[in-house]
């Protein structure tokens, strides 16, 4: 089996008296046909990087998973059980190559029964490695709703990382068909929101700026880790509403995510961004945050 085909699957059960996490054969089916993850996208997830066998910032991911599962009315395994599962999955994967580790929590089978919780591990894809090394071209797409919708309609789960990503995947296919690597979503008013799987951050003078969570976006774990390191080095990370023109006028723009890390934006639609070295070494700071440097 080639490295690109390797997979690890770990089953995590809920409840304080549940069995310990255990490895599940990656080629054996795991989910019933009516699992609500599959037939309704009804659950939540997290994706984190494993570097040298060590999962990066697991506590930030567990905290966000807990927020998502609370918003969905799910219980989920305890953090302790997730930690044991993550450790087992990372150990099974081994230290030799970077991996994407995904936590999945579903409402369970439609016929009734316990929630489904498991972990998958897979190699980091070529797309992510290329985006880190070469940067990306992005297209802007309007999500069509106003920036204050998340606060007006909490039931829409805009700040939760649910399994219902069909529109996000469609946006990425739409971008690829136009020759772009990724997407920046805009609100109906033209405010910068986020990428389908990333957080937007810009360098402006000596500071970093990223849109606030209240515009209906996911709170980025990589942004939070970056903010901690940058803050300690005297570079504030401010949360401020941004327009596309703010991206074009910035010293540099990145999409941040847990697996791709910092992808420098080289082009936005038809506009090539200035190629100058950024005033803040965001990529280096993110590498340190996840233990890559």
**118 is an interface residue for a second copy by CB under 8 A:** yes
Strands, E assignment, 107-198? 116-123, 136-142, 182-186
Residue from 23, 30, 84, 244 in contact with a second copy (CB under 8 A): 30
Residue from 84, 87, 141, 224 in contact with a second copy (CB under 8 A): 141
Smallest Cα–Cα separation from 53: which of 89, 12, 9, 6?
89
Q: Nearer to a second copy by C-beta: 124 or 209?
A: 124
CB of 68 to a second copy, least distance (A): 10
Interface stretch with a second copy, choices 30-38, 87-95, 254-262, 279-287 (CB under 8 A):
30-38
Smallest Cα–Cα separation from 234: which of 208, 255, 210?
208
**140 is an interface residue for a second copy by CB under 8 A:** no
The site that binds a second copy (CB under 8 A) totals a number of residues, namely 59
Residue from 64, 102, 132, 204 in contact with a second copy (CB under 8 A): 102
Q: Which two tokens stand for residue 234?
A: 């005297």
**33 is an interface residue for a second copy by CB under 8 A:** yes
- Hey, which residues between 258 and 287 contact a second copy (CB under 8 A)? none
> 66 exposed, middle or buried (CB, 10 Å; 0-12, 13-18, 19+)?
middle
Residue from 73, 179, 234, 275 in contact with a second copy (CB under 8 A): 73
Q: CA angle, 74 as apex, 72 and 79 as ends, to 5°?
A: 120
Interface stretch with a second copy, choices 48-56, 98-106, 220-228, 232-240 (CB under 8 A):
98-106
**26 is an interface residue for a second copy by CB under 8 A:** yes
Smallest Cα–Cα separation from 26: which of 11, 46, 42?
11
CA distance 257 to 261: 5
**38 is an interface residue for a second copy by CB under 8 A:** yes
First to last CA, the chain: 30
**215 is an interface residue for a second copy by CB under 8 A:** no
User: What 3-state DSSP class applies to 210?
Assistant: strand
Q: Which two tokens stand for residue 189?
A: 């008013």
- Distance from the Cα of residue 48 to its chain's centroid: 8
Q: Which two tokens stand for residue 274?
A: 């200035």
CB 217 within 8 A of CB 160: no
Q: Nearer to a second copy by C-beta: 147 or 265?
A: 147
Interface stretch with a second copy, choices 58-66, 118-126, 229-237, 239-247 (CB under 8 A):
118-126
Q: Nearer to a second copy by C-beta: 129 or 173?
A: 173
Residue from 3, 17, 27, 270 in contact with a second copy (CB under 8 A): 27
| 263, containing H or E segment | strand 261-268
Partners of 83 in beta bridges: none
Residue from 133, 152, 249, 293 in contact with a second copy (CB under 8 A): 152
Cβ neighbors of 174 (< 8 A, separation 6 or more) are 139, 141, 183
| Interacting residues with a second copy (CB under 8 A) | 5, 7, 9, 24, 26-43, 45, 71-73, 102, 104, 106, 110-111, 118, 120, 122, 141-146, 149, 152-153, 155-157, 162-171, 173-174, 188
């Amino acid at each position: 089996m080639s490295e690109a085909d390797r997979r690890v699957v770990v089953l995590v059960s809920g409840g304080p008296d549940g069995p310990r996490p255990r490895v599940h054969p990656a080629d054996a089916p795991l989910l019933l046909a009516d699992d609500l993850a599959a037939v309704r996208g009804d659950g939540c997830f997290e994706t984190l990087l494993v570097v040298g066998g060590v999962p990066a910032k697991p506590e930030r991911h567990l905290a966000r998973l807990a927020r998502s599962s609370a918003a969905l009315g799910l219980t989920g395994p305890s953090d302790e059980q997730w930690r044991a599962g993550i450790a087992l999955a990372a150990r099974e994967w081994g230290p030799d190559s970077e991996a994407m580790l995904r936590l999945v929590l579903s409402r369970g089978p439609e016929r009734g029964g316990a929630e489904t919780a498991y972990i998958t591990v897979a190699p980091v894809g070529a797309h992510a490695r290329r985006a880190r090394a070469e940067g990306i071209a992005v297209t802007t797409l309007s999500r069509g709703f106003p920036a204050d919708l998340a606060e007006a309609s909490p039931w829409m789960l805009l700040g939760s990382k649910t399994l219902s990503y069909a529109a996000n995947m469609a946006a990425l296919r739409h971008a690829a068909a136009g020759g772009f690597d990724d997407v920046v979503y805009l609100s109906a008013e033209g405010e910068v929101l986020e990428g389908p799987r990333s957080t937007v951050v810009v360098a402006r003078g000596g500071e970093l700026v990223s849109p606030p969570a209240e515009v209906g976006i996911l709170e980025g774990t990589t942004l939070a880790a970056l903010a901690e390191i940058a803050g300690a080095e005297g570079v504030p990370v401010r949360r401020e509403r941004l327009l596309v023109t703010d991206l074009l006028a910035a010293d540099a723009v990145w999409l941040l995510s847990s697996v791709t890390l910092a992808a420098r934006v080289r082009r936005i639609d038809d506009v090539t961004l200035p190629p100058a070295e950024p005033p803040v070494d965001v990529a280096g700071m993110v590498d340190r945050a996840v233990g890559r440097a």
